Amino acid sequence: MAGNTFGQAFRITTFGESHGGAVGVVIDGVTPGLEISESEIQKEMDRRKPGQSSVTTPRQEEDKISIMAGIFAGKATGTPLFIVLYNKDARPEAYDSIKNLFRPGHADITYHEKYGIRDYRGSGRASGRETAARVAAGTVARKMLEQKGVKVLAYTLEAAGYKCKTFDENEIENNLVRACDPEAAALMTKRIEELAEIGDSCGGIIECRISGVKSGLGEPVFDKLDADIGKAMLSLGAVKGIEFGKGFDCSSMLGSEHNDWMDKNGFMTNNAGGILGGISTGQEIVFRIAVKPTSSISVPQKTVNIKGEETEIVTKGRHDPCICPRIVPVVEAMTYIVLADHYKRQAAMLG
């Protein structure tokens, strides 16, 4: 009911505020016998962690994970896997100046109105730091799915007003913005650095391609595979939209153009994005998400305080001028989590 659990057969429950004692995740439904090590998870954590480059926040956090349950002699036992990250460098006093203000674009005001009480230190539970737990869990799901030949690949398709024109998978980890086109990446990077300089931020579009998913995954009618991926993505604070295959462009297409025909080699096109009637076709699954510009900016903004009085706010924190490169591993993680859940649900259906 309270929204901190995701999935059914592969189920994660997360907790933690950005400046509390720790963030972490309980993962229920890990296949027993799965080999998993802290270093494998740490590698993915490092892709998400702050302080990576000039286009991310300069904050330095280790994001060091520990597996504290559910594992024995390097293998998952089938009992809940528990992974924790302690908040080592929390500096709650840095937030004293904003404790009675509602930062524009943030969940400050909505948490205040929902709960009547708010942990104002670094956005509390609404902080992006919460996604660290998702990445940890996603890496476990990834290990399970790699054995089935599934591969999820996310990357920046657009950012700071520039759009990738080529696609080279090998380039993605070679540039600071995790874009699939090195030329666009250079333009994006330059523009984001400029925005960082003036304390502003920008948004972008992340594309995700999933290969190796067998046909038949997804549960009609409400838990369609695209519905569950959509929920997973929209549960990320910065995401404002998602589309599959041709997505919004399908609104101006004809049925005769959009329908994917089949011949003896399978589907001839993939306008649907690999999902029909909520069930995977066995083709590549393709979706894109809209990422809003980071809400934390240091440009002066109008807002109100907790009493409703008008004021101006200038946040001084060291924030991400564009969250795209850091959201890429989170998108991959949540996708792996949805897929692990649906693989197990399919097994239950047949079991």
Which residues 110-139 are close enough to bind a copy of itself by CB under 8 A? Answer: 110-111, 113-119, 121, 124-126, 130
Window 29-68: residues binding a copy of itself (CB under 8 A): 29, 31-33, 66-68
Window 209-228: residues binding a copy of itself (CB under 8 A): 215-224, 226-228
Question: Which span (14-22, 46-54, 57-65, 165-173) binds a copy of itself, by CB under 8 A?
Answer: 14-22
Whole-angstrom distance, CA of residue 243 vs CA of residue 234: 11
Smallest gap, in angstroms, from Cβ of residue 66 to a copy of itself? 7
Measured from the CB atom, the residue of 165 and 248 that comes closer to a copy of itself is 248
User: What are the φ and ψ backbone dihedral angles of 300, each rounded to 5 degrees?
Assistant: -65, 135
Measured from the CB atom, the residue of 39 and 170 that comes closer to a copy of itself is 39
Whether 270 contacts 283, CB under 8 Å: yes
Question: Which span (42-50, 52-60, 169-177, 264-272) binds a copy of itself, by CB under 8 A?
Answer: 264-272
Maximum Cα interatomic distance, the chain, rounded to a whole number of Å: 68
Measured from the CB atom, the residue of 170 and 331 that comes closer to a copy of itself is 331
Whole-angstrom distance, CA of residue 332 vs CA of residue 172: 13
Smallest gap, in angstroms, from Cβ of residue 137 to a copy of itself? 12
Q: Which of 42, 46, 52, 80 binds a copy of itself (CB under 8 A)?
A: 80
Question: Which span (45-53, 170-178, 180-188, 196-204) binds a copy of itself, by CB under 8 A?
Answer: 196-204
Q: In what order do the strands lie in the sheet with 5-6?
A: 5-6, 11-15, 22-28, 81-86, 65-69
- Residues binding a copy of itself: what is the number (CB under 8 A)? 152
Whole-angstrom distance, CA of residue 233 vs CA of residue 96: 32
Window 288-347: residues binding a copy of itself (CB under 8 A): 290-297, 299, 301-304, 308-310, 343-347
User: Which of left, alpha, beta for 18 (phi over 0: left; psi -120 to 50: alpha)?
Assistant: alpha
Smallest gap, in angstroms, from Cβ of residue 98 to a copy of itself? 14
User: What are the φ and ψ backbone dihedral angles of 21, each rounded to 5 degrees?
Assistant: -75, -35
Q: Which of 21, 51, 58, 149 binds a copy of itself (CB under 8 A)?
A: 21
Measured from the CB atom, the residue of 116 and 170 that comes closer to a copy of itself is 116
Per DSSP, 148 falls in state T
Those residues with Cβ within 8 angstroms of residue 327's Cβ, 6 or more apart along the chain or in another chain: 131, 206, 236, 238, 291
Interaction of residue 105 with a copy of itself, rule CB under 8 A: yes
Window 169-188: residues binding a copy of itself (CB under 8 A): none
Per DSSP, 293 falls in state P
Q: Which of 39, 165, 170, 268 binds a copy of itself (CB under 8 A)?
A: 268
Question: Which span (8-16, 41-49, 55-63, 171-179) binds a copy of itself, by CB under 8 A?
Answer: 8-16
Q: Name 279's bridge partners.
A: 276
Cα-trace Rg, the chain: 21
Q: Which of 50, 273, 325, 329 binds a copy of itself (CB under 8 A)?
A: 273
Q: How many whole angstroms from its chain centre is CA 5?
A: 15
Whole-angstrom distance, CA of residue 349 vs CA of residue 12: 21
Whole-angstrom distance, CA of residue 190 vs CA of residue 321: 12
Whether 133 contacts 235, CB under 8 Å: no
Interaction of residue 260 with a copy of itself, rule CB under 8 A: yes
